[in-house]
Chain A
Amino acid sequence: MSEYLGEYKAVYKAKSACGDILGKAQDGGIVTSMFAYALEAGIIDGAIVAGPGAEPYKPEPMIATTIEELLAARGTKYSISPNMSLIKEATRSYGLDKIGIVGTPCQIQAVRKAQLYPIGLRDVPDKIALAIGIFCMENFPYQGLYQMVEDHCATKIDNVTKMDIGKGKFTVYTERGAHAEIPLKVTHKYEQPACHVCLDYVANMADISTGSVGTPDGWSTVMVRSKAGEAAFQKAVDAGWIVAESMDGVKPGLELVEKLAKTKIDNNRAYLEHRKHEGTLLKPLRSPYI
């Protein structure tokens, strides 16, 4: 238990043991291989994931019920995919009884609220079998991303083959080998405003949370949190779908994860405080937290 990282049972350095999943994944390919294993083992009968949309780099939620469909959806997304929008449909036209869902920390909060307060989500609460959360500092809405690519990088988004955030830069690569980069500083104003009230970095309420921060390239940090998460992850490792090693001595390790979590949460707490505009505004801006 940590103030910033939430409760967890164990933490690992892990990656997918399947070559074809690792191939396209940016880091350890944990989400795809966990769901692939869970489908295979009957832990879930479908997963809500971010798939490719009609426009380039605009993810759309989709329900994958086969490993092929999962593979078609893999890869990091830079803008948010409203995965919760399919949570009821998954139990209706798809007839799923055991749903897997992946999401950012805020989406995992939405999952848990849906389970405890299923106000408009009849028969959904007991059908969520595996919720995987992704570490998340903030997200870009699609139009923000578009602005960064088309305007700041002067590149047509249709021609972009790859985007990358790292080392203080946002970089786009095109088909013809050109690349353009801008300092991350420039991108901040395009972040989704609602990300700045978010008080969760590592998806504290997920069954399993994962992200690339803390482990070397090609690996992911995996935090196992709930009973369901623990059981599924252990089985995936035992069945040889995922390689997991101890985090002991791994650099930069959990320390960096905690540091980033603290930065995000402290900043956002301060922003929530600021939103009250104590003494200046007639009415404080609303806080969702009670």
Chain B
Amino acid sequence: MNAVEVRNLSKSFEDVKAVDKISFVVKKGEMFGFLGPNGAGKTTTINMLTGLARPDQGSIRVHGKDYLKNLKTIKQSIGVVPDESNLYPELSGLENLCFCAALYGMKKAERTAKAWELLEQFGLKEAAFRKFGAYSKGMKRKLTIAAGIIHDPEILFLDEPTTGIDVASARQIRMLIARLHETGKTVFLTTHYIEEAERLCERIAFIVSGRIVRIDTMENLLQPMQEEHLAEIICTRGEKQAVDLLGKEFKDLVFNNTGRNAGRSFSRDKEAGEEHVRVKSGEPIPVGRLVRFLEENGIQVIEARLLRSSLEDVFVRITGIEAKELLKVTETKRHGKKKKAGGGT
């Protein structure tokens, strides 16, 4: 049986088509990823799946049952972790968890035991009696996840669980999610981090402007990239372009200049006096020989490395959206939002 079945789901806000006739299934016990840029319609989809928004059209079935007719039973069996923490700032971590458990009808002894168990599991035991409002962002997100699973739901909806928090907490959270999935829970995860989707999800839907442009297993998505070998060489700019020299010497390889750092490290932008060369081939690339050749021709190599084909390449190929753009858009949008809200936190 499928955990979630969605058919032709649509939702508009005034003139914006937030979600446009999407259909997909989430299999039981699966980790399903919804990957797309900011404003793609990820949150709107989650809201419709969890009863916070009414679809304009389309049908939703959860565990084979019609969604609207069985709302109360279905609500009991799903857990939701929203993109922003929605717990009570004036209550302590422990109180928040116990309160959430009570919303699902758990008895007092059961609530307290489960709350402590989760605080322990999420590394928040020391902060149990501290007010939620005084938690760091990472702690807040962790407690929000704990609150979302305290009633032991069968399906867990996670809306951008690692957005806007520090790297260490994000790693911890990814590990916690992976562990939850191992215990057999169905997980529906939205994200705009390609790497996160690649690392965690078994199947992925690419969503852009309210539409699903591709939906497949990670294996199938990466399949066409398996035969392709990639490398990147960063060198000093000489009198002659490295890319031309290499092209003349190694005729069976394809060389390109890249405008940005290829691969998935966005840490380093191209600096003046540098040339970035991307190498493509159907065979393994002899990077050592390329480096030696360049240095013999008076071009100093700063960095040379093999690249693994990744989901990013697939994503860029299918959606035409560069991963770097994806992140950029998101960050500026978030800043804009914060300013508008008057820096409430």
Real complex partners, A and B? no
Binding site for A on B (CB under 8 A): none
Q: Which residues of A contact B (CB under 8 A)?
A: none
